[in-house]
Amino acid sequence: MITRRYPFSSMVVSATLALAGSVAGPAGALTLQQCIAQLNACTVSLNTCNANLNQAEGNLNTCNASLTHTEAVLSDCNEGVDKAQFYLAICNTDRGQLQADLATCTNDLAVCEADAVSFPASGQTTAFTSEKNDGFTGPVAVPDDGVVQAGASLSYTDNGDGTITDDNTGLMWEKKSDDGGLHDKDNVLYWSGNGTQETIWDWLEDVNAEGGTGFAGYHDWRVPNVRELQSIVNYQNIPLPVSTAFNSNCVAGATVLTGSCTLLTYYWSSTTWARSTSLVWGVDFNHGEVVPSDKATGSRVRAVRGGSL
């Protein structure tokens, strides 16, 4: 901005010229006193104008300083907004990942809960009474197994490939057939032989090599431990204490795909009796009881795979 100031000396020259003209001029011209008065008034106005101009320049400088400060603040603010938007984008990305991880975790938890081992019930659903020392004559109702029915209800799935899955424990069981083959119910095997006898371990090797990939496509079959074997006993059913999945259409010629067989006899487990190591625990499927048997005797066996109780 260019500031115009009008110095007093210029005004004096102008006034002097005007005075000279008035003294020599015609009638009606200003007198000397009037000219001096006007000169003085003009000087005052000029000083006032210069003062106002200086004030305006001061205000303009102040305004420019304020504007510069405001621009600096605005620049800082814009930089802050840019940073906030940058971190917000990172936060949104992290939130998306966390949500995806949470969904995965929730799904894994559901799978884990679905696969969780449930201790199976005995299968008994009939309530039996008891003669108590209660001052009353005759049997009374008691909270026996048939009333409480503790544990998960027995539930099995026939996989359609010669195997049965326990829906509670997740164990997969071999079905037994009546076709004279590797899985025939009548096959008698020894736990420990004399070197010439077929043992359950020889048989297990054949099961895991069957068809080149193992029975039903699996090669990790094993002999169940005694608790696993007892878990398929159904104490409600007589005379054969197993669920229908293990005893259906057991007729001559039935394969593991068309039938399912269980004999009223003893089945081997892999659990040796620690008190007498020549004996091994097993389950008698005549009564559903756990009993030991001599390893050198012949009995039946049913393979299992998967986790255990």
Stated pTM of the model = 0.63
**Whether residue 222 is found in the same domain as residue 101:** no
Residues 182, 291 share a domain:
yes
Q: What is the pLDDT of residue 276?
A: 97
Domain boundary among 115, 138, 172: 115
In this structure, the answer to whether residues 213 and 277 fall within a common structural domain is yes
Q: How many other C-beta atoms are found inside a 10 Å radius of the C-beta of residue 63?
A: 10
The number of distinct structural domains making up the chain is 2
What pLDDT score was predicted for residue 280?
A: 97
Task: Give residue 122's pLDDT.
Answer: 92
Domain co-membership, 171 together with 96: no
In the structure encoding, which two tokens stand for residue 234, read together?
Answer: 């159904």
Domain end marker among 93, 115, 137: 115
On whether both 108 and 201 belong to a single domain, the answer is no
- Range of the structural domain that residue 198 is part of: 155-305
Question: In the prediction, which pLDDT does 77 show?
Answer: 86
**Does residue 237 sit within a domain?**
yes
d(CA 104, CA 98): 10
Residue 131 falls inside a structural domain:
no
189 within a domain of the structure (yes/no):
yes
User: Are 104 and 211 contained in the same domain?
Assistant: no
Distance in angstroms (rounded) separating the CA atoms of residues 203 and 270: 14
| Integer Cα distance of 198 and 231 in angstroms | 27
State the burial class of residue 136 (Cβ atoms within 10 Å of its Cβ: 0-12, 13-18, 19+).
exposed
Residues 186 and 274 in one domain: yes
Work out whether strand 189-190 and strand 266-272 pair parallel, antiparallel, or are unpaired.
Answer: unpaired
Residues 73 and 211 in one domain: no
Q: Which pLDDT belongs to residue 104?
A: 86
The residue count of the chain comes to 309
Give the end of a domain, one of 53, 83, 115: 115
Examine residue 121 and state whether it is found in any structural domain, yes or no.
no
The DSSP secondary structure of the chain, one letter per residue, reads -PPP---HHHHHHHHHHHHHHHHHS-TTPPPHHHHHHHHHHHHHHHHHHHHHHHHHHHHHHHHHHHHHHHHHHHHHHHHHHHHHHHHHHHHHHHHHHHHHHHHHHHHHHHHHHHH---PBP-------EE--SSS-SS-EE---HHHH--SBPP-EEE-SSSEEEETTT--EEE--BSSSSTTBTT--EESS-SSSSPBHHHHHHHHHHGGGT-GGG----BPPPHHHHHTTB-TTSSSS-B-GGGSBS--TT--TTT-B---SSEEEEEEE-TTSTTEEEEEETTTTEEEEEETTSEEB---EES---
Per-residue confidence of the chain (309 residues) as pLDDT tens digits?
Answer: 555 554 544 544 454 444 444 444 556 677 889 889 988 988 998 999 899 989 988 899 998 998 899 888 888 889 889 988 998 899 899 888 989 888 888 877 765 555 555 689 999 999 999 999 999 999 999 999 999 999 999 999 999 999 999 999 999 999 999 999 999 999 999 999 999 999 999 999 999 999 999 999 999 999 999 999 999 999 999 999 999 999 999 999 999 999 999 999 999 999 999 999 999 999 999 999 999 999 999 999 999 999 644
Is the same domain home to 97 and 161?
Answer: no
2 CB-near residues (< 8 Å, 6+ apart): none
Instruction: Check whether residue 73 and residue 165 sit in a common domain.
Output: no
Please indicate, yes or no, if residue 101 is contained in any of the structural domains.
Answer: yes
